[in-house]
Amino acid sequence: MSLKIKVKRISGVPSTSDLESGEIGLNTSNNQLYVNIGGTITAVSGGSSDAEENESSFKTISVAGQSDVVADADADTLTFTAGSNMTITTNATSDTITFTAAAPDLSSVSQDIVPDGNGTRDLGSSSNKWKELHLSGSTIFLGSAQLTADGTKVVLPTGSKDAAGNSIGVKDSALGVAIRSVPLFTAAGGLSSAATTFSMKDTQDRSLVFSDFTKANGDAISKHPGTTIFNF
């Protein structure tokens, strides 16, 4: 008497709930045999001519620094999700997936724009310049130089020069004449830092351009026209 072995019949790809460990099942839709090996459903043979071959398929997708993506079953689906500034397009005819980096939207930036290194990136170029720069703050840093705004006026750093290297003249706001700042050093204070700084007239006519000057005898001189005491 011959012995018949009946294989469990299943319509579709079986799961672990369909087959016990070591049990064989037949997918009746394509005559593909499957076996549950230690909790993993594996295709073991043939099937119809148009059935999908699984012997050389990938089960695990690994990305450096990320968790592995592992197929839970033969019919499991891998889903790609586009991240920030990225688009994904598919073509069913050519069986291709295209990943495209999208240009960032700079019309509404909600965070600081910081380069990836110090002094490594440019804003514009000699041939492609930005048109206008609008800032709500009052300070611009050019290297170590600091430009500040005072209402509608620009305040330059002390000691600023023109293109030829000449110092830019400064006008006294009260007297309306060109002045220069002259530091005063004392024996007690030394030469490391000035004890005070005088604003001296920068011309040769004989007008007083400083204020609140005290002579050695204690006499104080306030702002008034008269003979120049110091001229540099």
3-state secondary structure 159-181: CCECCCCCECCEECCCCCCEEEE
Q: State how far the alpha carbon of 39 is from the alpha carbons of 17, 36, 166, 167, 186, in Å.
A: 10, 6, 85, 85, 91
For residue 184, being part of any structural domain is answered with: yes
pTM above 0.85, yes or no: no
For residue 58, being part of any structural domain is answered with: no
pLDDT, position 224: 54
| Domain termination site, one of 53, 75, 94 | 53
CB 146 within 8 A of CB 157: yes
pLDDT, position 129: 93
CB 158 within 8 A of CB 182: no
CB 26 within 8 A of CB 51: no
Q: What is the DSSP letter of 186?
A: B
pLDDT, position 180: 76
For residue 21, being part of any structural domain is answered with: yes
Q: Give the C-alpha separation, 221 to 232, whole Å.
A: 19
For residue 216, being part of any structural domain is answered with: yes
Comparing C-alpha atoms, which of 84, 89, 86, 83 is closest to residue 102?
86
Comparing C-alpha atoms, which of 125, 122, 156, 124 is closest to residue 139?
156
For residue 9, being part of any structural domain is answered with: yes
CB 9 within 8 A of CB 23: no
For residue 49, being part of any structural domain is answered with: yes
For residue 76, being part of any structural domain is answered with: no
Identify the sign of the CA torsion 190, 193, 198, 201.
positive
pLDDT, position 51: 45
**226: helix, coil or strand?**
coil
- Per-position DSSP letters for 103-155, written without gaps between them: PP--SS--S----SSTT---SS-SSS--S----SSSEEEETTEEEEEETTEEE
pLDDT tens-digit profile, the chain (232 residues)? 566 677 888 888 889 889 888 888 888 888 888 888 888 998 876 555 454 544 557 778 888 888 888 888 777 888 889 888 888 999 888 889 999 988 777 888 888 889 999 989 998 999 999 999 888 888 888 888 888 988 888 888 888 888 888 887 777 777 777 777 788 999 888 999 899 988 777 665 555 555 667 777 888 766 555 555 555 4
Burial of 169 (0-12, 13-18, 19+ CB in 10 A): exposed
Three-point CA angle 183, 188, 194, nearest 5°: 20
Q: How many domains, in total, are found in the chain?
A: 2
Comparing C-alpha atoms, which of 160, 164, 158 is closest to residue 199?
158
CB 217 within 8 A of CB 168: no
For residue 198, being part of any structural domain is answered with: yes
Range of the domain at 172: 160-221
